[in-house]
């Protein structure tokens, strides 16, 4: 745990020692607020469903932009060789980097609470749906982070890591949507429905936290973090 905490502190500080965190937070809050409030008063309903519905699409572009440098930059400038010679296990580095990026995401999501507070000021929204919606955001964001982190371990080019992260998130997001399910063979229907990030997120947005949805997201996170650890270890094999 000490090694994980050390990596976490190093990576988390690096976000705020550079413009990355400030740009990410500013653009994310600005874009999400604009997309939500531009139609909020036209709908004349004090609810946040639209905010939560388009958030996975915003995450799909913003989160890979945060994770693309986590390993790709280390490879490009050669600091990964120094990092791998330290008395620290590969999975500890992976977890430290993941927790640092997740902390940045959590800070950003918490700052967006100004949106539901504004909605509460003008109306009486369903607080339960807002709470479960934010939990769903963090679970979805954690899955995206793990995918982006894995993509960054596979290349030293940040742009390639960014594109691969977006592509993988996009595939897993839409694979469980009605459009894909209706056009898929019957035998693939239950598989696609379960594997889709979007289908589990939609389930959470109904206002009920199902243990199956939580286990699914934790499994996705664990799976891609495991792949990331294998990718890092493969450098030693070569």
Token pair for 216: 């699914």
Give the per-residue pLDDT at 23: 86
Confidence class for position 185, pLDDT limits 50, 70, 90? confident
Calpha distance 227→138 (Å, rounded)? 21
Average of per-residue pLDDT across 213-237:
87
Token pair for 228: 């990331």
The sign of the torsion formed by the CA atoms of 215, 28, 109, 47 equals negative
Residue-wise pLDDT for 123-181, tens only, equals 777 778 888 999 999 999 999 999 999 998 888 788 898 999 999 999 998 887 777 77
Give the per-residue pLDDT at 46: 64
Calpha distance 212→194 (Å, rounded)? 10
DSSP 8-state code for residue 47: -
Calpha distance 73→171 (Å, rounded)? 25
Q: Kindly calculate the radius of gyration of the chain based on its CA atoms and give it in whole angstroms.
A: 19
Give percent of the chain above pLDDT 70.
88
Q: Is 73 exposed, middle or buried (0-12, 13-18, 19+ CB in 10 A)?
A: middle
């Amino acid at each position: 745990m000490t090694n994980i905490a050390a990596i976490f502190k190093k990576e988390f500080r690096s976000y705020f020692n550079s413009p990355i965190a400030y740009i990410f937070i500013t653009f994310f809050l600005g874009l999400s607020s604009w997309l939500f409030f531009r139609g909020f008063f036209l709908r004349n309903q004090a609810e946040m469903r639209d905010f939560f519905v388009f958030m996975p699409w915003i995450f799909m572009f913003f989160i890979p932009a945060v994770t693309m440098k986590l390993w790709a930059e280390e490879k490009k400038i050669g600091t990964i060789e120094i990092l791998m010679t330290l008395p620290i296990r590969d999975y500890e580095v992976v977890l430290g980097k993941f927790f640092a990026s997740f902390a940045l995401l959590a800070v950003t999501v918490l700052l967006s609470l100004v949106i539901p507070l504004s909605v509460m000021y003008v109306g009486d929204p369903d607080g339960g749906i807002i709470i479960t919606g934010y939990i769903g955001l963090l679970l979805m964001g954690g899955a995206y982070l793990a995918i982006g982190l894995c993509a960054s371990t596979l290349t030293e080019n940040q742009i390639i890591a960014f594109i691969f992260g977006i592509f993988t998130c996009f595939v897993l997001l839409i694979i469980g949507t009605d459009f894909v399910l209706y056009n898929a063979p019957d035998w693939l229907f239950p598989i696609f429905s379960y594997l889709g990030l979007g289908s589990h997120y939609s389930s959470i947005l109904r206002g009920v936290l199902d243990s199956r949805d939580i286990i699914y997201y934790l499994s996705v996170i664990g799976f891609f973090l495991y792949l990331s650890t294998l990718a890092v270890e493969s450098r030693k094999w070569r």
